[in-house]
Structure formats: C-alpha cells, structure tokens
C-alpha cells in the first residue's frame, strides 16, 4: 500500500445509529441522494436484510459524502454515491486497492448525471470490457396526498403471495434470474402489491392502508407493483386486457403513501426514458414529481 492510498481506506458501516446519522448527513443533497439515502434507512431498520448490504465510507474523511454500497446476494447491485463537488475525491477512491477489492465484477448501478463521465470512464479502465449506459428519469413522491384511494368493483388489493412474486419476476426483464425466495423475503417487509379479480366485491371500495393482507400463495394478480431493496417503486405490470383502467396508477399511489406513512424511506421510481407509457403515468400522478436524470450502467454484451 502506497502512502497516498492510506488516505482512501474504506471502512464498513455496521451500527444502526451510524447508518441513520449518515442518511441524515446526505439528505440535503436531494434528489441525487435518493437511492443511497433510502438504502441507508432500510438497512438500518432491517427491512432489506435479505439482500445482505455492505456499506462503506472513507475512514479519513469523516464529513465526506462518498458512500459505496453493494449487495452480496445473487442480485448483484451497487451504488457509488457522492455530491457533485466530491467527484474528484470519488475518482481517487476508485483508484485505490480498497475499492478494487470491493468491486469484484462488473456492477449494475445507477449514477447521477454529474458522475456519469468520470465514473463510467474509470469503470471501463478497471474492467477492460465494454459497458452499456442507459438513461432514466427519476420521479419522487414529493407531496403527501390525503384523498382516499378506491379499488374498482370486482377487484381487491392485496400483498403478493408466492404466485404473484413469480409473475413479477417473469414480467421484469432485469429480474428473471433472481430467486423467488429472495424477493418473497423482501416482500414480507416492504409493500409488493397486486390487484386481484374478486367477483364477490360488488362495489368500489376505499382502500384501508392498515388492512391490506397477503393473497393466498397460489393467487395470481392482474396487476402488480413492487418496492425494491433500495426503496424505489418498480416492476409495474398490468395484464393487457386490463390496461387503461388506472390500475398501475392506483398501485404506485398506494405504495408511495404506505412508504411515506410508515416513515421507511422517500418513495421514488426510475423509469427508462423511452418508456412513454410509464413516464406519462408518473407525470400525471398527484404528489409525484420528475426530479432528475439518472444513468444506469450495465455489463456490455
């Protein structure tokens, strides 16, 4: 280890109190901190424990916003977070052996736009293989909504059981190889909701946030949405014959309110810039606001 690297040693954050203090430190960098802020909160509260997160900070820069976290499960994801003014410091960290020991393979991660060029360039140098960039829009649930949410007649809202989780995995192009057991464990803590057909429900009903039960294991929803282990609302899908009825909007609104009401994290979603239907939906949703552009980096083919 050379003298310069000593200044860029990474230390793992283990204690709940420090995770919460770290989240409080970075929250003023909203909205760019959203993914990392939520991950810190959910990890401190044990709500995403099944994904086995490791979170690192710089040992010798106590007030730095440089935070690196990764999941040790089969669903490899990672974040390299900093403020815009800390980008030069982040690149120095990425040049250190400590960072290289953590990043053992090409990560799948999201970056703020101001991180894109320097971080992408450094990752390509590290892995000596092509990487792919994709642009997404971030939407955050910025304003609490109090009007009641209603489920249409002939349907009911419930948390996803095992069959619902399996359908969720099959309909999401990024999660097809993820273990159903892993996602099911996450869904036991964070809201993964579906809309199910139920002919016994004759009238439109106001949804009681405190009375949403789990569906039976074999029940398959006609629409579903999910909360990721870093707190974004995603995996939104509605069967073709039930689209254009506002079911996706209902689920996203409901999950956003649930997350906010319980104080678990700040609800947000990341939508591929070319996904016109989803972008149009979020732009119309009360309480939700487009905040910024993020870049997803993936291994090249």
Tell me, what's the pLDDT at 99?
87
Q: What proportion of the chain, given as a percentage, has pLDDT over 70?
A: 93
Residue of higher predicted confidence among 174 and 244: 244
Q: Cα(217)–Cα(137) distance, rounded to whole angstroms?
A: 34
Average pLDDT, the chain: 90
Res. 6: pLDDT tops 60: no
Tell me, what's the pLDDT at 3?
45
Q: Cα(194)–Cα(160) distance, rounded to whole angstroms?
A: 6
| Domain residue ranges of the chain, discontinuous segments joined by + | 3-129, 150-299
Burial class (CB in 10 A: 0-12, 13-18, 19+), 173: exposed
* Tens-digit pLDDT profile for residues 65-120: 999 998 888 666 788 999 999 999 999 999 988 888 888 666 678 899 999 999 99
Strand order, beta sheet including 155-159:
155-159, 193-197, 223-227, 233-238
DSSP for the chain reads --HHHHTT-EEE---HHHHHHHHHHHGGGTTTTHHHHHHHHHHHTTTTGGG-EEEEEETT-TT---EEEEE-SSS--EEEE--GGGHHHHHHHHTSHHHHHH--S---EEEEGGGHHHHHHHHHHHH-S-EEEEEEEEEEE-S---SPPEEPTTEEEEE--HHHHHHHHHH-TTTTTS-HHHHHHHHTTS--EEEEE-TT--S-EE--GGG--BPPTT---SEEEEE-TTSBEEEEEE-GGGTTSSHHHHHHHHHHHHHHHHTS---EEEEETT-HHHHHHHHHSTTEEEEEEEEEEEE--
Res. 60: pLDDT tops 90: no
What average pLDDT does range 149-176 have in this prediction? Answer: 90
Among all chains, which residue has been given the structure tokens 């487009």?
290
- Helix H, strand E, coil C: the string for 145-209 is CCCCCEECCCEEEEECCHHHHHHHHHHCCCCCCCCHHHHHHHHCCCCCEEEEECCCCCCCEECCH
Which range has the worst mean pLDDT, 12-21, 178-187, 226-235, 243-252?
178-187
Tell me, what's the pLDDT at 5?
54
Res. 2: pLDDT tops 60: no
Q: How distant, in Å, are the alpha carbons of 43, 190, 196, 248 from that of 299?
A: 26, 28, 36, 30
Tell me, what's the pLDDT at 75?
67
* Tens-digit pLDDT profile for residues 259-283: 998 999 999 999 999 999 999 999 9
CATH number among 3.40.50.2300, 3.10.20.30, 3.40.630.30, 3.40.1280.10, domain 150-299: 3.40.630.30
Q: What proportion of the chain, given as a percentage, has pLDDT over 90?
A: 69
pTM over 0.95: no
- On the question of a common fold for 3-129 and 150-299, the answer reads yes
* pLDDT bucket at 176, cuts 50 / 70 / 90: low
Tell me, what's the pLDDT at 77?
78
Identify the architecture of domain 3-129 in CATH: 3-Layer(aba) Sandwich (3.40)
Give me 159's structure tokens.
């948390």
């Amino acid at each position: 280890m050379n003298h310069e690297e000593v200044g860029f040693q990474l230390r793992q954050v283990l204690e709940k109190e420090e995770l919460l203090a770290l989240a409080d430190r970075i929250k003023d960098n909203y909205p760019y901190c959203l993914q990392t802020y939520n991950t810190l909160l959910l990890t401190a509260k044990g709500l995403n424990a099944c994904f086995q997160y490791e979170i690192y900070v710089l040992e010798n820069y106590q007030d730095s916003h440089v935070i690196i976290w990764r999941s040790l499960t089969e669903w490899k994801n990672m974040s390299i977070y900093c403020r815009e003014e800390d980008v030069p410091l982040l690149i120095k960290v990425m040049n250190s052996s400590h960072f290289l020991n953590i990043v053992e393979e090409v990560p799948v991660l999201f970056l703020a736009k101001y991180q894109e060029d320097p971080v992408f360039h450094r990752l390509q140098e590290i892995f000596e293989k092509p990487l792919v960039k994709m642009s997404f829009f971030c939407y955050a649930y910025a304003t609490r909504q109090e009007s009641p949410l209603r489920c249409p007649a002939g349907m009911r809202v419930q948390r996803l059981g095992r069959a619902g989780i399996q359908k969720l995995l099959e309909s999401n192009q990024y999660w097809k190889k993820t273990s159903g057991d892993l996602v099911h464990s996450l869904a036991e803590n964070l809201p993964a909701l579906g809309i199910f057909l139920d002919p016994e429900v004759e009238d439109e009903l106001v949804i009681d946030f405190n009375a949403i039960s789990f569906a039976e294991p074999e029940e398959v929803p006609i629409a579903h949405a999910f909360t990721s282990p870093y707190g974004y609302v995603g995996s939104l899908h509605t069967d073709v014959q039930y689209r254009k009825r506002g079911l996706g909007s209902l689920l996203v609104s409901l999950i956003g309110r649930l997350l906010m009401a319980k104080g678990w994290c700040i609800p947000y979603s990341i939508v591929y810039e070319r996904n016109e239907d989803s972008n149009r939906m979020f732009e119309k949703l009360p309480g939700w606001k487009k905040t910024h552009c993020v870049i997803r980096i993936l291994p090249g083919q």
